[in-house]
Amino acid sequence: MRALLIGGDYVEQIADELRAHGYSRVEHWNGRKQGDTRRSIHQDVGLVLVLTDYTSHPLLKHLRQEAARLGVPVVYSRRSLVEVRQRLGDFHRRAA
Summarised one tens digit per residue, pLDDT across range 35-54 is 778 889 989 999 999 998 77
Q: Are 52 and 76 in contact (CB under 8 A)?
A: yes
pTM of the model: 0.91
* Predicted pLDDT at 34: 76
* Predicted pLDDT at 22: 92
What mean pLDDT, rounded, does the chain reach? 90
Q: Are 36 and 57 in contact (CB under 8 A)?
A: no
pLDDT in tens, 60-92: 899 999 999 999 999 999 888 999 999 999 998
Given a cut of 80, is residue 96 above it in pLDDT?
no
